[in-house]
Each structure stands twice: as structure tokens, then as C-alpha cells.
Amino acid sequence: MDKKIILSGIQPSGILTIGNYLGAIKNWETMQDEYDCLFMLADLHTLTVKQDPARLRANTYELTALYLACGLDPVKSVLFLQSHVPAHAELTWILNTVSYPGELSRMTQFKDKSLKHADNINMGLMDYPVLMAADILLYQADVVPIGADQKQHLELTRDLAVRFNNRYGETFKVPEAYIGKMGAKIYSLQEPGRKMSKSDENPNGFVSMDDDEATVLRKFKRAVTDSGSEIRRGEDKPGITNLINIYSLFSGKSAEETEREFEGAGYADFKKRVGEAVAAGIEPIRAEKNRILKDKGYIDKLLSEGADRAAYLANKTLRKVYKKVGLVPRVKG
Ligand code: TRP
């Protein structure tokens, strides 16, 4: 039986945190066996807010290398850059003709980003979810792992797929969202009520996959704890619960085992041990990433192979779409 298709997309706009790692990336190893996986770096999406071109280029290599270091298998899965597959931009155009400005301007993220980047409210920002719909629909994806903030965009993707199918006949698979079921939810070390985020203004709230040992230890030392002194999980103890989860995911021990291990220990001692476990867990990944990064030629070659595989799949859908809407296929003579 054919495996289901998963398309995962991420913008190469800076660092990843241990929250991204524990919440998603760490589960890829099993995911890559159960599904046909496509991992796309949404570099075209990043241009909807101002980017420094050199920085964008560097971030793209960084993230590709990090993915590989985390165990993404470029043979089992398809790893590629959105901009390497022209079909994404081409399908966006067609989907634009079935998208309404009203529904796009109502998107929460468009409204948020318009406020945040008031000096740069561009058409791309408004069209962002249509490009995302193209990303997904081109591959007939069954499942799309996303954060809660992208749920509305996936709803729109489904709407556009259904709208197009109704108008032109069955063309697109209508995808399902996969929200946060893949892995653990990791919270900020400073405000354990909030998700750990790389865009947190307070760098002590998150641990980057790039932080060195001293930085990791310092951030855990400063991590917010709760009243009381016990090391146990509970709704009244969001800080300690988060630290227990982080420790258990990096050490491979269950949360119960972790609670037992630290019975009677003090908060300071516990936080030090969590920091050590995290530092030990991310160090080999960072080293491997830096090793891979030295060989740009290798990364370029992998991305080129990934683009070929992605384009083959994407173009099949695009040809079908062009035909359905009545564009005359080019006959090569
Ligand atoms: N918009 C997504 C985000 O910022 C990234 C993304 C682009 C994406 N295209 C996608 C995610 C396709 C899933 C599928 O998180």
C-alpha cells in the first residue's frame, strides 16, 4: 500500500530552539519510515518581510545542515528549497484566481504582521497563505504538521482545494492538519505559560540548537521555577513540569523515572542536571551541523537532487491544473 504523504514546511529565518527539536524534528526518524516525507524550506515565504540577502542565504545553508544533522535522511525523504521548484510560484498564480482579497485580508497572521511591519505591507504578505496552499496542494499531501499559528492557513488551503475541485473537477487532495501531536510541547524557561519561541525578546526564554554548553547551563540556571520545593509535575508547577519534560526527552527516561531520580533534590541541583543533559544532547548535533556546513558543495548537490524529485511530483499536479483550467499544453516540435 502507498504510504501517506507528509509535507513539512519551515522558513529559513534564523535559529531553531530545543522546542522545535523536541516538538517535531526528533520524531522524524520514525516519521520517515511511516510516511513519504517532503521537507521544504520555504525561502520564498521569508521575502514577505525584509531580509538581509546574505543573512537569508546563510540561514538557508544553516537550516539545511541542521536538518541533516538531526537525522533527516535525504534518500528516504525529499529535502528541497521552495525557490528551486518553479511550480510553487506557478500554482500560486492559478490559486490566486480562486482566492478572494476579503478572505486573505482577514487572516490573523496578515493582520498581525501588517501591524508589526507597518512600513512594509506588501502583496506578498497578503498572498502568503496562497503560496503556502500551493506548497501543500502540489504534492497531494495527506498530512501537514503545523503549529497552532498556521491552522488558519491550512483551513484556507482546504477551502481553496475544495473550491478549485468544485469548479474544475477533482484535482487536489484536501489535506489534514497535524497539530502538535508529533512531539512534546516545550514552554519558555522564563514564562512557562508561553510556548518556547525563537522570536522571544528575552533570549533566556529559549535554548537555541546553536547555544554552547556554557550558555545552555546559564539559561537553565536562570530558568523560572515554582513555589514549593518538590520536583514533580502538576498544573500548579508549570516551570518544573516543563523542566521535567525537557530532561526526560533528552535523557530518554520517562517523566516518572525523572521524578523518582530527583526525589529530595533541590531546584538548583535539578536545573543544573537538566542543563547538562540538554548541553550533552545538542552538542553532537551542533558539531555534526558545523561539519556538514563546511561542505557547501555537498549541500548544494543534495538540494539539487531534492529539487529534481520534488519538481517531478509538483509538475505532475501543475500539468493537471493547467489542463483543467483550459491552458493549451505546449507541444514541442
Ligand atoms: N507558513 C509556515 C510557517 O511559518 C511555513 C510554511 C510554508 C509551511 N509553506 C508551508 C508549513 C507548507 C507547512 C506546509 O510556519
Q: List pLDDT tens digits, range 281-291.
A: 999 999 999 99
Mean per-residue pLDDT of the chain = 95
The residue ranges of the chain whose pLDDT is under 70 are: 1, 180-183
What pLDDT does residue 29 have? 81
In the chain, ranges of CATH 3.40.50.620 domains: 5-183+296-325
Beta-sheet strands, E only, within the chain: 4-10, 35-41, 78-81, 143-146, 176-179
Strand partners, 211: none
Residue 150 CB less than 6 A away from ligand 1? yes
CA of 239 to the centre of ligand 1 (A): 29
Query: Cα(11) to centroid of ligand 1, in Å?
Result: 7
Fold for domain 5-183+296-325? Rossmann fold (3.40.50)
Interatomic CA distance for residues 201 and 205, integer angstroms = 8
CA–CA dist 103, 159 (Å, integer) = 11
Evaluate: CB of 11 within 6 angstroms of ligand 1.
yes
Distance (Å) of CA 22 to CA 44, 74, 246: 26, 20, 8
Active site residues: 113, 195, 198
19 closest CA partner among 158, 190, 177: 190
Ligand 1 and 136: CB distance under 6 A: yes
HSE, CB side, 13 Å, CA atoms: give it for residue 18.
30
Compute CA distances 314 → 90, 91, 137, 142, 283, whole Å: 10, 9, 9, 15, 37
Question: Measured between alpha carbons, how far is 273 from 217 in angstroms, rounded to an integer?
Answer: 9
Q: Which residues are bridge partners to 78 per DSSP?
A: 38
> Ligand 1 centre and the CA of 324: distance in Å?
26
Nearest atom (ligand 1) to Cα of 10: 5
Nearest to 66 by CA among 329, 321, 290, 309: 290
DSSP state letters, 220-265: HHT----SSS-----TT-HHHHHHHHHHHHHH---HHHHHHHTTT-
Tell me the Ramachandran region of residue 128: left when phi exceeds 0, alpha when psi lies from -120 to 50, beta otherwise.
alpha
Q: Please report the pLDDT score of residue 153 as a whole number.
A: 97
CATH number for the region 203-291 comes to 1.10.240.10
User: What are the residue ranges of CATH 1.10.240.10 in the chain?
Assistant: 203-291
CA 13-19-25 angle, 5° bins: 75
Closest CA to 145 of 184, 187, 109, 181: 181
Task: Return the pLDDT at 181.
Answer: 59
Dump pLDDT digits (tens) for 309-329. Answer: 999 999 999 999 999 999 999
